[in-house]
């Protein structure tokens, strides 16, 4: 007899941006079996379930698909810390790893260069995607894992010098690796031409790789070359790469960074809309005005606040502001930054109106961009999804509930071709979440970033109850490696 759960009388938000309605949802095994008005699931369906049925009263609660975190750097975390509590506790049931050109696979090294260290330092041991997929399934993390292939990772594996475009033989080797990863179910290619490891890549190199991803029906997700003054040409470059290859584009963590660019989403969003008439474009966004990445001197402008999230030479300074450290040391902020490298930081480089414009835009999806290896991580690691609901739906009313959920579920699954996920629909995988719409709230802050959220009451992954708010962990982990679906978008 299969395990079954009847969620009764909840507010059903199906992930498809349809109006919410009150009803019951029946889960059995790893699937969603039926949805109906309260008490109306057909008797023959109910008798087929047998006696091993748990009933949960969801009156006053929202029943939604599990959230999909489309922008993560959890590649190593799902193996190292497979409970995946930072994500499960937000209602996330699937993570997309390998963003920003930085993926764990395919690469074997003990010395990841600069940006790749975002994934931790000792984990690069998978020569091919199928090895990683096997490792994920063996670890059975708390959430499902789908993977992009990082351009910087391919570069590091195959190129002798990273400060120039790939030579023909190097490019051929990168394409071959990418094709094999796509055959093993990768979602597509990611790039981070913003980062030093990939900055020298030219259009020929990027287009050849994007074409390889396109041949297998993949997507192209990119951390564009410039999110500051040069953002418009950087958006054009990304769009051109995807257009030439003929594949969907995802603009990673769309933002206008730096005080001189504040307000410029009034230019970028119309450009993206205009491009989207000719090609398939989406973007992801996190609900904070601070970004976070490795410590870089060129990002230290002496104007914006910079909060240190970790430093190898000075771990004790995590959680302090760079300006204070500089004062303490009697140095300029740039000089202090040099002493703290390698490390990570939060950069308060955005303005609220830009963040809100991107969040409200119909093409945006939610992605945390959380960095699980930082000592004091940006609060987006633990708070992104409840924050969208608490701050931008309930408090500010920026989005209707159905649209907020759509941006975390149905839209995300469709963009990344995650089959049978992201919606509450019979036959779909039972990645399901029950939350309290009055209480849901992120509690992680910049001062106190490692905090469970409130109001995320129960989370099922592939039909297995994996998180409850009261127990915080059920001890069960049911995540799988998720391969790219065949669905066309």
Which residues sit at the interface with Zn ion, rule CB under 5 A? 100, 223
Identify the CA nearest to 13 among candidates 350, 286, 408.
408
Contact call for residues 373 and 309 (beta carbons, < 8 A)? no
Query: Which of Cu ion, Zn ion, none does residue 376 bind (CB under 5 to 8 Å by kind)?
Result: none
> Could you tell me which stretch among 38-46, 179-187, 265-273, 364-372 binds Cu ion (CB under 5 A)?
364-372
DSSP category for residue 8: E
Shortest distance, CB of residue 192 to Cu ion, whole angstroms?
Answer: 7
CB of 100 to Cu ion, least distance (A): 4
By the rule CB under 5 A, 349 interacts with Cu ion: no
Q: How far is the CB of 428 from Zn ion (least distance, A)?
A: 30
Distance CA 360, CA 260 (A): 23
Say whether residue 152 binds Cu ion (CB under 5 A).
no
Among 99, 123, 152, 453, the residue binding Cu ion under the rule CB under 5 A is: 99
SS3 17: coil
Of 100 and 371, nearer to Zn ion (C-beta) is 100
**Nearest residue (CB) to Zn ion, 192 versus 379:** 192
**Tokens 């030219």 belong to residue:** 202
Smallest gap from residue 194 Cβ to Zn ion (A):
7
Interface with Cu ion: number of residues (CB under 5 A): 3
**Smaller CB distance to Zn ion: residue 9 or 292?**
292
Comparing CB distances to Cu ion, the nearer of 253 and 458 is 253
Shortest Å, Cβ 336 to Zn ion: 24
Using the rule CB under 5 A, give the single segment among 122-130, 315-323, 361-369, 418-426 that binds Cu ion: 361-369
Tell me which residue of 61, 13, 80 sits closest to 469, measured CA to CA.
61
Spell out the long-range contacts of 131-135 with Cβ–Cβ below 8 A and sequence spacing 24 or more: 131/105, 132/104, 132/105, 132/481, 133/184, 133/185, 133/481, 133/483, 134/481, 135/79
Binding mask 295-314 toward Cu ion (x if CB under 5 A, else -) reads --------------------
By beta-carbon proximity to Cu ion, the closer residue of 356 and 369 is: 369
Strand residue runs (E) in 295-349: 306-311, 343-347
Q: Are 88 and 142 in contact (CB under 8 A)?
A: yes
Minimum Å gap between C-beta 399 and Zn ion is 23
Considering only the stretches 13-21, 265-273, 368-376, 455-463, report the one whose residues sit in contact with Cu ion under the rule CB under 5 A.
368-376
* Chain position carrying tokens 């091919």: 128
The region of 98-106, 310-318, 392-400, 409-417 touching Cu ion under the rule CB under 5 A is 98-106
Phi and psi, residue 251, nearest 5°: -85, 120
- CA pair distance 120, 374, nearest whole angstrom: 9
Q: Which SS3 state, helix, strand or coil, does residue 163 take?
A: coil
Contact 12, 424 (CB under 8 A): yes
Residue 369 touches Cu ion, criterion: CB under 5 A: yes
Handedness of CA 411, 414, 417, 422 (dihedral sign): positive
Sole window of 36-44, 61-69, 92-100, 398-406 interacting with Cu ion (rule: CB under 5 A): 92-100
Burial call 310-346: b when 16+ CB within 10 Å, e when fewer:
bbeeeeebbebbbbebbeeeeeebeebbeebbebbbb
Residue 100 sits in the site that holds Cu ion (CB under 5 A):
yes
CB nearer Zn ion, residue 26 or residue 251: 251
Residue 369 or 442: which CB sits closer to Cu ion? Answer: 369
Closest approach of Cu ion to the CB of residue 467, in Å? 24
Nearer to Zn ion, 61 or 415 (CB): 415
Beta partners for 467? 459
Nearer Cβ to Cu ion (99/453): 99
Chain position whose Cβ is nearest to Cu ion: 100
74 interface partner picked from Cu ion, Zn ion, none, CB below 5 to 8 A per type: none
| Contact yes or no for 433/459 (Cβ under 8 A) | yes
* Least Å from the CB of residue 118 to Cu ion: 8
Binding partner of residue 421 among Cu ion, Zn ion, none, CB under 5 to 8 Å per kind?
none
- Residue 24 site contact among Zn ion, Cu ion, none (CB < 5 to 8 Å, cut-off depends on kind): none
Task: Name the token pair of 267.
Answer: 């230019």
170 binds Cu ion (CB under 5 A): no
Q: CB nearer to Zn ion: give 223 or 484.
A: 223
Cβ-count burial 349-382 (b if 16+ within 10 Å, e if not)? bbbeebbbbbbbbebbbbbbbbbbbbbbbbbbbb
- Per the CB < 8 A criterion, the answer to whether 63 and 7 are in contact is yes
Minimal distance in Å, beta carbon 101 to Cu ion?
9
Minimum CB distance to Zn ion smaller for 114 or for 473 = 114
Contact 136, 182 (CB under 8 A): no
Judged by CB under 5 A, the stretch of 18-26, 97-105, 224-232, 429-437 that binds Cu ion is 97-105
H or E stretch including 7?
strand 4-12
Query: What residues make contact with Cu ion under the rule CB under 5 A?
Result: 99-100, 369
């Amino acid at each position: 007899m299969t395990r079954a759960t009847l969620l009764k009388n909840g507010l059903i938000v199906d992930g498809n941006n349809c109006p919410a309605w009150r009803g019951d949802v029946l889960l059995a095994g790893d699937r969603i079996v039926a949805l109906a008005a309260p008490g109306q699931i057909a008797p023959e369906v109910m008798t087929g379930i047998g006696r091993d049925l748990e009933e949960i009263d969801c009156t006053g609660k929202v029943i939604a698909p599990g959230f999909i975190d489309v922008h993560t750097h959890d590649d190593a975390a799902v193996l190292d810390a497979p409970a995946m509590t930072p994500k499960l506790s937000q209602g996330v049931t699937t993570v997309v790893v390998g963003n920003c050109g930085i993926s764990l696979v395919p690469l074997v090294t003990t010395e990841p260069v600069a940006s790749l260290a975002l994934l931790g330092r000792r984990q690069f041991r998978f020569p091919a995607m199928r090895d990683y997929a096997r490792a994920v399934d063996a670890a059975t993390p708390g959430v499902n894992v789908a993977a992009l292939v990082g351009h910087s990772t391919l570069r590091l594996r195959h190129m002798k010098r990273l400060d120039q475009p790939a030579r023909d033989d190097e490019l051929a080797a990168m394409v071959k690796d990418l094709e094999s990863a796509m055959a093993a179910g990768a979602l597509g290619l990611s790039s981070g031409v913003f980062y030093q490891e990939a900055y020298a890549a030219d259009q020929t190199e990027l287009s050849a790789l994007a074409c390889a991803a396109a041949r297998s029906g993949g997507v192209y997700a990119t951390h564009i070359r410039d999110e500051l003054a040069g953002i418009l040409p950087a958006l054009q470059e990304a769009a051109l790469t995807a257009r030439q290859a003929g594949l969907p584009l995802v603009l990673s963590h769309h933002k206008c960074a730096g005080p001189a660019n504040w307000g410029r989403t009034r230019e970028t969003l119309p450009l993206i809309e205009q491009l989207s008439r000719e090609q398939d474009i989406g973007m992801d966004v996190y609900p904070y005005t601070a970004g976070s990445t490795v410590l870089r001197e060129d990002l230290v402008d002496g104007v914006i606040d910079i909060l240190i999230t970790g430093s190898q030479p000075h771990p004790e300074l995590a959680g302090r502001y760079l300006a204070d450290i500089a004062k303490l040391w009697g140095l300029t902020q740039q000089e202090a930054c040099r002493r703290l490298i390698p490390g990570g930081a939060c950069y308060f480089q955005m303005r609220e109106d830009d963040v809100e414009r991107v969040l409200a835009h119909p093409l945006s999806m939610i992605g945390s961009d959380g960095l699980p290896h930082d000592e004091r991580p940006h609060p987006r690691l633990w708070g992104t999804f409840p924050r969208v609901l608490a701050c931008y739906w309930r408090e500010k009313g920026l989005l209707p509930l159905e649209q907020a959920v759509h941006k975390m579920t149905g839209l995300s699954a469709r963009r990344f071709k995650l089959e049978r996920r992201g919606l509450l629909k019979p036959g779909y995988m039972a990645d399901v979440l029950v939350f309290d719409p009055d209480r849901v709230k992120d509690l992680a802050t910049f001062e106190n970033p490692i905090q469970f959220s409130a109001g995320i009451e129960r989370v099922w992954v592939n039909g297995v109850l994996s998180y409850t708010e009261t127990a915080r962990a059920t001890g069960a982990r049911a995540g799988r490696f998720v391969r790219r679906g065949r669905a066309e978008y």
